[in-house]
Structure 1
């Protein structure tokens, strides 16, 4: 059961002008595809070949000798989650259960925004900023490189990719602008609500 590259959940130009079709074509079609290809090559013919992506990640997490498999499997999963964390016409203050939970656990939406942006800005080098559910409480965390919340018994609710390839063609070194526009115009709160409930 080979791992396949999932289609984007929207057209390549749907997130413009905040993330361009040019960026998405490279990010999804080249970077994400490379992780899929590498993972399939690494697990081919082995005991993980028939496992789901999540099963593979959990089987190899925290095993240094399996780091190549973990890195590629987690990057396939992280990227798919990131595409779904955005939508055309997204962003702004949340509604529904996630809005109440954010107010409960962070004190206000503005406090969440500050903490989320700070996590994305202070992730040194490549990585991710996450909104996760941990022990029934929403928290903001960041992971380096391919690391992912499920390897730490956390449930991912939303993520933003802060690897340079996610934003460099559109924003160059202006990571702060990318994070600001992600929150104002791209966040898919419907996806967050579904993850909170699921």
Structure 2
């Protein structure tokens, strides 16, 4: 069985960008519901890593709940109150792909705002180059061979509606300015080049 990972920070640590109320609701209710539903769908004794479950599931309830469990766990780790800056290698890649960090923000926010309905907006690396992409509903980068996620932001309304109502753009702009975990992005960027392991969901109990 998979467990609901604890948040890597206190519920109030991301305020004022993301409120403690939103994190309690989002993590304790929404994320927990996906994990619990997935555990009820898998065969007893299934010890596959969550990444394998997602890649092998095919369309349907198992994929939806498994991918949403994974996406949310990566999302929590993709945020930090510590405000790190991108490392030198990632900064160079950002400059090459987007001009500078402001250019990346513009692309990231525009992709998220332009995404119709629920989903996720990602900063990822493919073939050594950075790209911004969005995925619908539960879909994620695990379904895209050769793509490694560096950061992600949740576009489902439950991620921001308590704090921003229907202002998705305001949420994305505030999120990008305050919360990206560039230390995680640095590690993922290195892993995409074969230097270390990519982020993974905790192993099933």
Which residue of 155, 162, 166 corresponds with 1:169? 162
Matched length: 190
Shift of 1:44: 3.0
- 2:4 alignment partner, SS class: coil
Distance in 1, Cα, partners of 2:76 & 2:44:
30
Match runs of 1:26-175 below 5 Å: 26-45=25-44, 49-60=46-57, 63-64=58-59, 67-90=60-83, 94-153=86-145, 154-175=147-168
User: Structure 1: any 5+ residue segments left out of the alignment?
Assistant: none
Structure 1 partner of 2:197: none
Shift of 1:25: 0.2
Which residue of 172, 180, 187 corresponds with 1:179? 172
Structure 1 partner of 2:7: 8
Distance in 1, Cα, partners of 2:98 & 2:81:
26
Distance in 2, Cα, partners of 1:44 & 1:36:
14
- 2:132 alignment partner, SS class: strand
Shift of 1:108: 2.2
- 1:3 alignment partner, SS class: coil
User: Structure 2: any 5+ residue segments left out of the alignment?
Assistant: 192-205
Shift of 1:137: 1.1
Shift of 1:112: 1.1
TM norm structure 2: 0.89
- State the superposition RMSD in angstroms: 1.3
Shift of 1:107: 2.5
Structure 2 partner of 1:20: 19
Shift of 1:105: 2.0
Structure 1 partner of 2:198: none
Distance in 1, Cα, partners of 2:43 & 2:164:
38
Residues 86-134 of structure 1: per-residue CA shift (max 9 Å, x gap): 111427x634322111112222222211110011101111000001111
- 1:130 alignment partner, SS class: strand
Structure 1 partner of 2:201: none
